[in-house]
Chain A
């Protein structure tokens, strides 16, 4: 992420630009409120360590999604909304920005996509009608597309940070064949356009 954020004077404006560009390239239409929600999410996670929870000694810790979900089931409505929203946020961010690492883990990206999408869907049903209902419904419905948008933002940041980052994106692309990553690599000159590929 360092390559993405160091030159930005306004983190939110910076992410807004990246989000709109990537969403347009991937033809993902977003409501204004959803766009606002996502920009805030990206800026907060990038600027702070909100992705992590803290253990009893204050150490940074990844809270398993299943644990968050289990906790949500036992909570009252307002707390449940907060926990489910966090479940959606963490899933979206992790699967968007760290899908390469997730593919080597115990559970793959699909697990995060299902958990995150379902969590936003439940939030949409729990929040009072109007207000943010539409945002959570959109986040639920477009979760998989949003993962690809975030994946592209992450990949472009890595590629622009230098060859080590570009090679990481290249490895992910070689493993997954992702069209999104291929487009990023082609745009940056790391992979020739198919028409110019020599044998």
Chain B
């Protein structure tokens, strides 16, 4: 898939961040699949309703992917290119999470396609919610991370609003993804409080590799 956003370095940095968290490297690099032209995205099946959208086309026995990131989103993020990545958390957490969500979707679809697994939309959304939480969490790993994790829980899971244009089915999916991933992230809080990075990574990596139903069950109940 052609790219017209070679200068969106945040995408590559986020992919590296997610790969480091989950302990694998994906051969496909998200930055090579980024599309920032809304018209091109529409031609590829994009709805244009969100600033980030993963466009997936099953073709010739394989998957074609494109990651649409709205130009406005890129502009918002550009101002942090030269700053330490952590500064974006104070400046534009929402924008950062939107890009993270796009990269999360790309990586998860590419990863599951590699193992020839199908992916449900609910699974994809729930994983992205977890990814956003943990990506932001690790920026401030260290003293004070427990307080930061509580703040993140509130901002990412509790104080959320849904677009009014969502269909009933879409609305249900986002709410359910939020509920499931929140439960999982709350369970991770013990490792955060004791700063057990080994246990945190262990749990995250285990859950990441579970298949669709098992993953959702695990998020909901831990089993």
Residues of A whose CB lies within 8 Å of any CB of B are 162-164, 166-168, 170-171, 174, 188-192, 197-199
Contacts and interface: CB of A to CB of B under 8 A. Distances in A.
A192 B141 contact: no
Interface in B187-202: 193-198, 201
Given A168-B20, A189-B143, 5 more contacts: A162-B13, A190-B142, A198-B194, A198-B196, A199-B194
Nearest to B191: A198
Nearest to A160: B84
A166 B142 CA distance: 12
A164 B135 CA distance: 9
Q: Which size bracket describes the interface of B in this complex? A: 20 to 34
B16 A164 contact: yes
A164 B22 CA distance: 11
29 contacts: A162-B13, A162-B17, A162-B84, A162-B139, A163-B17, A163-B85, A163-B138, A164-B16, A164-B17, A166-B138, A166-B141, A167-B17, A167-B20, A167-B21, A167-B138, A167-B201, A170-B197, A174-B198, A189-B142, A189-B143, A190-B141, A190-B142, A191-B195, A192-B195, A197-B194, A197-B195, A198-B195, A198-B196, A199-B194
Chain B interface, DSSP helix/strand/loop, else mixed: helix
Interface string B129-146: 000000100110111000
A94 B8 CA distance: 30
Contact of A163 (B139, B195, B196, B198): B139
Interface in B1-51: 13, 16-17, 19-21, 23
B91 interface: no
Contacts of A168: 20
Interface string B157-196: 0000000000000000000000000000000000001111
B194 A163 contact: no
Interface in B95-147: 135, 138-139, 141-143
Nearest to A199: B194
Contacts of A174: 198
- Which of B139, B143, B197 gathers most chain A CB within 10 Å? B197
